[in-house]
Amino acid sequence: MVDLGQLFPVVVALAFVASAGCLLAAVQRAADPRVRKSFLALFFVGLLTVNLAPFPSLLPFSHLHKYTTTSSNPTTYHDVYLVDAQGDELRYDGDAAPPAGTLIRFGRGIATEYDEPRARATAAHLLEEGRNYRGRIERGRGVDPHADFPPHALGYGWDRDLLAEYDEFVALRVYYVELRYTASGTAIEERDRTLVATYTDDGTLTRNGSQ
């Protein structure tokens, strides 16, 4: 039996190549209204399918499904921190690791999902990117932060003053965070966090208390 999961990447690639081919061909023959209408019919069928069916996007057909499920109580997620030589923790700035932006899935990967080599490589990459980004901020990024397209979310981010409080980064930690809300959903009753992975720059990765 063919594993559909294995087949999906091939379907994705074929869909992309076919879409590109259809576009190039349709534009060449766009003077014919039947060509335009056929292209548009295929386009909107594809777009509606990806927008209404529960499977990953067949790019270039994409959707904007955001916060589509009801929020759960408690809410849990993985959060990434850097540790300096003094042992002080600084929450990771997603902009340090482009193009990811949001690091929840990579934190979860390091802590639970990836095999050992991938988890170590990912943690090492994030630590390295954190150091590089810090260096760029400390050297002064000029107008870049103002001229660049804004990041995914407004809010937390590193700046020179914040970084000045920290020594050199030597380790990366992943926490499993649990937010419990009051029944009315208007306040956080309790915020728990558990250390689930630590990577130090000598290459050691500790997960769930075991190496």
Residues 183-202 that bind another protein (CB under 8 A): 183-188, 191
**Cβ partners under 8 Å of residue 57, min gap 6:** 50, 63
Q: Provide the 8-state DSSP code for 94.
A: G
CA–CA distance, 135 with 168 (Å, rounded to integer):
11
29 to 88, contacts with another protein by CB under 8 A?
30-31, 33, 36, 39-40, 43-44, 47-48, 50-52, 54, 56-57, 59-73, 75, 77, 79
- Distance of closest approach, residue 189 Cβ to another protein, in angstroms: 10
> Looking up tokens 């804004």, which residue turns up?
150
- What's the token pair of residue 183? 């029944």
Shortest reach from residue 137's CB to another protein, in Å: 15
The number of residues that bind another protein (CB under 8 A) is 83
Residue 27 binding another protein, by CB under 8 A:
yes
Residue list 154-183, contact with another protein (CB under 8 A): 154-157, 179, 181, 183
CA 206 to chain centre: 22
Q: How far is the CB of 67 from another protein (least distance, A)?
A: 6
- Least distance (Å) from another protein to the CB of residue 184? 6
CA distance 19 to 8: 16
Please enumerate in sequence order all residues whose Cβ is within 8 A of that of 29, keeping only pairs 6 or more positions apart, or say none: 35
Rule CB under 8 A: say whether 16 interacts with another protein: yes
Q: Decide: is 148 part of the binding site for another protein (CB under 8 A).
A: yes
